[in-house]
Amino acid sequence: MNAGASTRTALVVRGGWKGHDPVGTTERFIPALRSAGFIVSVVEDLTVYDDAERIAAIDLIVHCWSMGSLTAPQEANLVAAVRAGTGFAGWHGGVIGTNVANPAYLRMVGARFLHHPDGSVDHTIRIDPAPTADAEITAGLQDFRVCTEQYWILSDSHSIELAHSVFEPAPESEWAEPVRMPVTWTRRWGAGRVFVCTLGHQVSDFDVPETAEMIRRGLLWAARPRS
């Protein structure tokens, strides 16, 4: 494929803690990006964010790097690129269980991982009504069951929640009432679009059709719109 005015570019940045299988999980979505017409580049080094000009020209960054840390210049370059229109997307610990010492990054993605119960938890993902253009990400999807890590996160009200789960209290819990927790959301950061989903602990999570479809749509949604 030759790059042209209508061709968009995607950059997959993957690595970090191997327990989240950054290679295997990203490979599940790279074909969908290519099928949608993106020229996809893959890097396995955070130093790509040192190149402000390069990342500012990218239409979509898929960040899958658990337990990472950005230098101050890398963080500034990335946040500036998104603010100017570069799309940014990711899932699970690869996007919110990382860069915890980078406050500008955390404000951009809109959450920080805090806790999950030990092991996989059988729980329901509930689709939220979304009377906005963002609803295309979950259009036609119904509530569905998953058995995977259930993330307890710290978030804010700037995001548009598209799906959530509920932590039910147990006798040993510190809380007495059910706690609602965002699972999938979108966010505007300047001119850029941000998409995050807390599912995706391992490749088998994407064998759940609703999970895979929601993330696939979210990646495409986050990309810089065609001019």
3-state secondary structure 71-92: CHHHHHHHHHHHHCCCEEEEEC
Q: Is the pLDDT of residue 83 over 80?
A: yes
SS3 labels along 113-152: EEECCCCCEEEEEEECCCCCHHHHHCCCCCCEEEEECCCE
Nearest alpha carbon to residue 126 among 178, 168, 183: 183
Q: Amino acid letter at 17?
A: W
What is the model's pLDDT at position 132?
Answer: 83
Sort strands 38-43 and 111-115 into parallel, antiparallel or unpaired: unpaired
CATH number at residue 84: 3.40.50.880
What is the model's pLDDT at position 3?
Answer: 46
Tell me whether residue 118 is in a domain: no
Tell me whether residue 205 is in a domain: yes
Tell me whether residue 81 is in a domain: yes
Section 187-197 average pLDDT: 98
Mean pLDDT of the chain: 95
Tell me whether residue 153 is in a domain: no
What is the model's pLDDT at position 227?
Answer: 76
Section 144-160 average pLDDT: 97
Report residue 216's pLDDT band, with 50, 70 and 90 as the boundaries.
very high
Tell me whether residue 171 is in a domain: no
What is the model's pLDDT at position 109?
Answer: 98
Place of tokens 């994407």: 206
Tell me whether residue 120 is in a domain: no
Q: Is the pLDDT of residue 223 over 80?
A: yes
Section 184-191 average pLDDT: 98
Tell me whether residue 131 is in a domain: no
Tell me whether residue 159 is in a domain: no
Q: Is the pLDDT of residue 1 over 50?
A: no
Section 35-47 average pLDDT: 98
Could you tell me the CA-to-CA distances from 65 to 39, 81, 185, 205 in Å, in that order?
21, 18, 19, 17
Sort strands 87-91 and 121-127 into parallel, antiparallel or unpaired: unpaired
Count of domains observed in the chain: 1
Report residue 170's pLDDT band, with 50, 70 and 90 as the boundaries.
confident
Percentage of residues in the chain with pLDDT exceeding 90? 93
Give the pLDDT confidence of 8-29 residue by residue, as tens digits: 999 999 999 999 999 999 999 9
What is the model's pLDDT at position 2?
Answer: 39
Tell me the residue range of the domain where 217 lies.
8-113+182-222
Give the pLDDT confidence of 103-132 residue by residue, as tens digits: 999 999 999 999 999 999 999 999 998 778
